[in-house]
């Protein structure tokens, strides 16, 4: 069974964040954040790619189409969209984008989906992981 991990960087020190990736033997990190190069990004895309490779030998790939649309993000963060509605709209969005075609099944083992939320419960990374699990099958999802 393949292992697909998810992680959020908020409320984690760099030591905790990189330590979790190392302890779980992550081979590649998929950045699925909508805003991964702003001042609020925590780890900006270029810096994160460098640190992952230099510290852990981990590959980095960016998948903006696995992130919510700007409209959905705004509705959720600024307009108070209820989670149930967000989940329905996001699942429809990633289905329409056919995100499973962006990666191959073999790439999933010991891969980690990155977002900012500290917990996966109400985060799009959980929805992406579950979508990929439904599409590819033999995948265990582990939120770290």
How far is Cα 107 from Cα 37, in angstroms, rounded to an integer?
Answer: 24
Residue ranges with strand state E in 1-143: 2-8, 28-31, 59-62, 111-115, 139-143
Report percent pLDDT > 70 for the chain.
Answer: 93
Q: Tens of pLDDT along 86-106?
A: 999 999 999 999 999 999 877
Task: Give me the mean pLDDT over the 5-15 stretch.
Answer: 93
Kindly tell me the sign of the dihedral angle through the C-alpha atoms of 111, 115, 118, 121: negative
* pLDDT value, residue 47: 85
Q: How buried is residue 106: exposed, middle or buried, by Cβ count under 10 Å (0-12/13-18/19+)?
A: exposed
CATH code of 54's domain: 3.40.1010
How far is Cα 70 from Cα 89, in angstroms, rounded to an integer?
Answer: 13
Q: Tens of pLDDT along 24-79?
A: 999 999 999 987 665 544 566 678 999 999 999 999 999 999 999 999 999 988 88
Contact 73, 79 (CB under 8 A): no
Backbone φ and ψ for 78, nearest 5 degrees, come out as: -105, -25
* pLDDT value, residue 107: 82
How far is Cα 114 from Cα 124, in angstroms, rounded to an integer?
Answer: 10
Q: How many domains does the chain have?
A: 1
pLDDT at 6 over 50: yes
Q: Domain span at residue 128?
A: 2-143
What tokens appear for 137 in the block? 């099958």
pLDDT at 123 over 50: yes
61 DSSP β-pair partners: 30
What tokens appear for 138 in the block? 């033999």
């Amino acid at each position: 069974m393949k292992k697909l991990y998810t992680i959020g960087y908020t409320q984690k020190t760099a030591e905790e964040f990189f330590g979790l990736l190392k302890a779980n033997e992550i081979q590649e990190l998929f950045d699925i954040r909508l805003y991964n190069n702003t001042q609020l990004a925590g780890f900006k895309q270029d810096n994160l790619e460098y640190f992952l490779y230099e510290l852990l030998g981990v590959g980095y790939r960016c998948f903006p189409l696995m992130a919510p649309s700007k409209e959905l993000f705004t509705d959720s963060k600024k307009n108070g969209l209820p989670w149930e509605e967000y989940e329905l709209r996001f699942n429809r969005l990633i289905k329409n984008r056919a995100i499973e075609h962006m990666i191959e099944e073999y790439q999933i083992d010991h891969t980690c989906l990155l977002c900012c939320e500290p917990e996966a419960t109400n985060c799009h990374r959980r929805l992406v992981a579950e979508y990929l699990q439904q599409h590819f099958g033999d995948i265990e999802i582990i939120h770290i």
